[in-house]
A and B are shown apart, each in its own frame.
Chain A
Amino acid sequence: MPVLDVEELHVRIATRNGPLHAVRGVSFSIEHGETFALVGESGCGKSMTALSLLDLMPQNGKREAKRLQLDGVEIGGLPEPELRQIRGDRAAMIFQEPMTALNPVLTIGEQLTEGPRLHHPDLSKDAAKRRAIELLERCGISQPELRLAQYPHELSGGMRQRAMIAMALMGSPRLLIADEPTTALDVTVQAQILDLLRDLQREFDLAILFITHDLTLVKNFATRVGVMYAGELVETGLAHEVISAPRHPYTSRLVACAPALDTPCGAQLGWLPGIPPRLIGDLSGCQFRFRCEEARTDCDGSIPWHVSGSRGYRCVLESNLQQNRKTLSVSQTITTSASEALLELRSVTIAYQSMGAFLTQGPSFVALKNASLVLPRGSTLGLVGESGSGKSTLARAVLGLEKPVSGDILIGGKAVGSLDPASRARAVQPVFQDPNASLNPRHTVLDIVRAPLDVRGEESKIERDSRARAMLERCGLAYYHFNAYPSQLSGGQRQRVAIARALVSGPSLVVCDEPTSALDVSIQSQILNLLVDLQREFNLTYLFISHNLAVVRQLADRVAVMLNGEIVEQGPADDVLSHPQHAYTARLLGSAALAKV
């Protein structure tokens, strides 16, 4: 008997524009000790499926299912008070962002023990505390007694997620629902958390429902996988089979979009144009047909569910689709001849003075230590390292936003500090991680992109407008986006606006600070492809910051690895990533690969 058995699950959310059919007839089951992964782009309904199992959808959401059984007991029609007895006790959840998922004003101990003490009134405070200590220790947290009295902000990101996992185990769950549990974590921490989950699964015989958008994780962590698109399961099967030989066109595009560690530099990633449909109104036929290259006339009819062995997929095409990953030949990679150095850092050190009491100076914090690097024109330097390693400080310094305590930063042979703001803006431009936060929400797209030209004020308004429009079109936006506000665009479109804004003033150097880490994998590939194209076209030089080694591998000719404010290793991307010299680089690569194995 499976731990979780779901048949024909539907979730509808009431919206202004009518009911949004977020989950459409999803069926799956999970056995003891098994991990089932749900994958897909944002908005495909995977998180909604997870939340709906315990009826945790937003207030305006409604759930229906032909069968929804936990351990053989139907829980679909249970009234709220009885469901509360199950939540956190026999089925527990962990979430993506352990900082926001834990209550900032309650101690770890309180948050761990309150659930079990509510579910089991006979459980004494001391007994609950002892169990909490035991589980924190089991989850790899040192000094567990001390942690009970601490608050979430006093723990590191990885520790918070461990505490979250311990909290989920405080009941005696048969089912653990993990909603993107490692997405917000650094790659090394990610590997540790996955290891921990694997161990705990064995020890507690857990069935795990694993929600993720990361296919690499699925391949290595999940037994079986369900690929979701537009609220439906479009393909299911054993994880490694589905990923190595996808049958549904959507799965194969998704696989092709994800850069792998072995993708050669400069290669084009697979291309998945468009965005998923909104799930309001008529949803008959295959919803992927609008983005599918192989769409036929009968795609808008009813779509059969093909089953063979453990595999199933929903498509009119019955033939075995082969993985049609479009890897362009290596000849298309950028050839970097020995051109002159555009960016040069000469032992740059940056320190922050913390403020002590009464306007005195506190201890200083060195964010960047003796950093030196040379970046030839037209090439890309990938800067990798964990959060807090000094990547962003280096980027800010190159943009002239931080003043080094010592050392020189030269762009085109001139010190950044000596450039006036106008010439600096012409030399170097940024593209930031979160276009939602970095674009002014009250300005239209055209205003945003034209702004750098307005500041310069060299051309007439008509010329400036037409240059901004041309750049927007070059970056893949249509005329009807020009007067939109950032909030009306998708994440990928916003990042295109940010790129157009950066390029419109014709800089030679572009600093990209995690430009795709807030994006879905299909959108990420579109943006990365755009960056590669633009680099060729305008002979751009990129300083590309990322914690995703696969992305760096795809884009960068040179790689620099940072640790605690120092560049510990740098060199050609192939050398550094294939034969790391520094132990830390090896560890970083190991963690990324561990997620693969």
Chain B
Amino acid sequence: MSGLIGRKLAEAALVGLIVSFATFLLVNWTGDLAISLGGMQASKEELVKLRAAYGLDRPLLVQYVDWARRALSGDLGRSFFSQEDVLPLILSRLAVTSRLALAALLVGIATAAPLGILAAIYQGKWIDHLAQTIAALSQAMPSFWSGLLLILFFGVNLKILPISGNDDWTGYIMPALALGWFVFPIMLRLLRAGMVEALSADYVRTARAKGLDPKRIVLKHALRNAVLPVVSLAAVQFGQLLGGSVVVEAVFALPGVGQLAWNSIQRADFPVVQAVVLLVAMIFVVVNLIADIINGVLDPRIRRA
């Protein structure tokens, strides 16, 4: 197990290196950082001064190594735009988005798990059809649309939930439902398929031949096998929610990391873009590591590899 964790951490470092370097190159190739610092009307002399002041006149590789060295010691630089330190700026935004992503994931799992298990047990019966219909519906409905519907119903008509902002936890309910609604169908399908396969597996026949009761057969023997791919999927989904929640953040006016990234890209605010990409990539790797560890606990065959 410790070998697995060590290997994954090394992988994380490698991913961080590649991702940050790629972002670095992209940002430098797509615009002149000195212009974004000084503004469109800056004179040639001013630009030269700015380049010298920010070290932009050095070779790209030197600039990158310099940035990477400081990033390693926790210094991600300052925003060109607001002059704030990048790290606290992003962390506060990341907290909002992480909470949202986690809540959405829980909503997705909490709805997909019971429905997926029932659909597999009663394969081809009405509950199976119902689950699949709901899944198709939720897949066909974009999250900004379901978000707007939620706002109309709970916020405008019933007036029981805030329609925007994150003053307290109630502000997360609707965005989490809107995003969870989006996570639900794929989780449901994967779990249902896994359960159908597990329930027809030889070891379930063995469990029946041993005289075990249906509850034990489903929850202990089948589910533990069926849940393995779902755990991996949840990790991937979490990463996608981190980067892809920008639309829902816009609908509910949540000050999340998606919003920040969008604004910073438009302003060519290089240090912020660079740091956002790096941190999201790191979180992605760490979440996948957690998923691998959970799978390692659940599945002895992975543990040894």
Q: Do A and B bind each other?
A: yes
B44 within 8 A of A: no
Q: Is the CB of B209 within 8 A of A104?
A: no
B interface size (C-beta, 8 A): 24
Q: Is the CB of A100 within 8 A of B212?
A: no
B275 to chain A, nearest CB (A): 28
**Within 8 Å CB of A167, what residues of B?**
210
Chain A residue nearest in CB terms to B7 = A357
Chain B residue nearest in CB terms to A102 = B203
Q: CA of A151 to CA of B296 in the docked complex: distance in angstroms?
A: 13
Q: CA of A83 to CA of B208 in the docked complex: distance in angstroms?
A: 10
Q: Is the CB of B210 within 8 A of A106?
A: no
Q: CA of A87 to CA of B205 in the docked complex: distance in angstroms?
A: 12
B43 to chain A, nearest CB (A): 51
B207 to chain A, nearest CB (A): 7
B206 within 8 A of A: yes
Find A104's partner among B7, B10, B203, B216 (CB 8 Å cutoff): B203
A84 within 8 A of B: yes
Q: Is the CB of A115 within 8 A of B211?
A: yes
Stretch in B19-27, B99-107, B297-305 with 4+ CB within 8 Å of A: B297-305
Find B212's partner among A92, A118, A151, A153 (CB 8 Å cutoff): A118
**Within 8 Å CB of B301, what residues of A?**
104-105, 151, 153
Q: Scoring A residues 349 to 362 as 1 if CB is less than 8 Å from chain B, else 0, what string do you get?
A: 00000000110000
**Within 8 Å CB of B212, what residues of A?**
84, 88, 114-115, 118
**Within 8 Å CB of A56, what residues of B?**
205, 208-209
A449 within 8 A of B: no
Q: CA of A85 to CA of B210 in the docked complex: distance in angstroms?
A: 9
Q: CA of A87 to CA of B213 in the docked complex: distance in angstroms?
A: 11
**Within 8 Å CB of A100, what residues of B?**
201-203
**Within 8 Å CB of B216, what residues of A?**
114, 118
Q: Scoring B residues 188 to 221 as 1 if CB is less than 8 Å from chain A, else 0, what string do you get?
A: 0000000000000111011111111100100011
A13 to chain B, nearest CB (A): 14
Most B CB within 10 A of own CB, among A54, A81, A97, A101 = A101
**Within 8 Å CB of B111, what residues of A?**
none
**Within 8 Å CB of B63, what residues of A?**
none
B297 to chain A, nearest CB (A): 10
**Within 8 Å CB of B203, what residues of A?**
100-104
Q: Is the CB of B298 within 8 A of A105?
A: yes
Q: Scoring A residues 70 to 92 as 1 if CB is less than 8 Å from chain B, else 0, what string do you get?
A: 00000000000101111111001
Residues of B209-237 contacting chain A, CB below 8 A? 209-213, 216, 220-221, 224-225
A107 to chain B, nearest CB (A): 8
Q: Is the CB of A97 within 8 A of B213?
A: no
Q: CA of A153 to CA of B301 in the docked complex: distance in angstroms?
A: 7
Q: Is the CB of B300 within 8 A of A151?
A: yes
Q: Scoring A residues 140 to 155 as 1 if CB is less than 8 Å from chain B, else 0, what string do you get?
A: 0000000000010110
- How many CB-defined contacts (below 8 Å) exist between A and B? 80
Q: CA of A411 to CA of B210 in the docked complex: distance in angstroms?
A: 54
**Within 8 Å CB of B300, what residues of A?**
104-105, 107, 151, 153-154
A439 within 8 A of B: no
A313 within 8 A of B: no
Chain B residue nearest in CB terms to A81 = B213
Find B299's partner among A83, A97, A104 (CB 8 Å cutoff): A104
**Within 8 Å CB of A114, what residues of B?**
210, 212, 216
Taking A95-B202, A106-B221 as contacts, is the C-beta distance between A85 and B10 under 8 angstroms? no
Find B206's partner among A83, A84, A101 (CB 8 Å cutoff): A101
Q: Is the CB of A84 within 8 A of B211?
A: yes
**Within 8 Å CB of A118, what residues of B?**
211-213, 216
Taking A86-B211, A115-B212 as contacts, is the C-beta distance between A103 and B206 under 8 angstroms? yes
Q: CA of A114 to CA of B202 in the docked complex: distance in angstroms?
A: 17
**Within 8 Å CB of A106, what residues of B?**
220-221, 224
Find B209's partner among A87, A105, A357 (CB 8 Å cutoff): A87
Q: Is the CB of A104 within 8 A of B225?
A: yes
Q: CA of A87 to CA of B212 in the docked complex: distance in angstroms?
A: 8
Q: Is the CB of B206 within 8 A of A95?
A: yes
Q: Is the CB of B299 within 8 A of A88?
A: no
Q: Is the CB of B205 within 8 A of A101?
A: yes
Q: Scoring B residues 249 to 266 as 1 if CB is less than 8 Å from chain A, else 0, what string do you get?
A: 000000000000000000
Q: CA of A107 to CA of B201 in the docked complex: distance in angstroms?
A: 17
Q: CA of A54 to CA of B212 in the docked complex: distance in angstroms?
A: 13
A119 within 8 A of B: yes
Q: Is the CB of A105 within 8 A of B202?
A: no
Q: CA of A85 to CA of B213 in the docked complex: distance in angstroms?
A: 10
**Within 8 Å CB of A84, what residues of B?**
211-213
A71 to chain B, nearest CB (A): 16
A206 to chain B, nearest CB (A): 16
Q: A104-B203, A114-B210, A115-B212 are in contact. List 10 more A-B contacts (CB 8 A).
A: A84-B212, A86-B211, A88-B210, A88-B211, A103-B206, A103-B207, A105-B298, A114-B216, A118-B213, A167-B210
- Residues on A lying within 8 angstroms of B by beta carbon are 54, 56, 81, 83-89, 92-93, 95, 97, 100-107, 114-115, 118-119, 151, 153-154, 164, 167, 357-358
Complex A-B: 27 CB contacts under 8 Å: A81-B213, A84-B213, A87-B209, A87-B210, A87-B211, A89-B211, A93-B209, A95-B202, A95-B209, A100-B201, A100-B203, A101-B202, A101-B203, A101-B205, A102-B206, A103-B207, A103-B225, A104-B299, A104-B301, A105-B225, A105-B301, A106-B221, A115-B211, A119-B211, A153-B300, A167-B210, A358-B10
Q: Which 4 A-B pairs have the closest CB atoms?
A: A87-B211, A88-B210, A115-B210, A88-B211
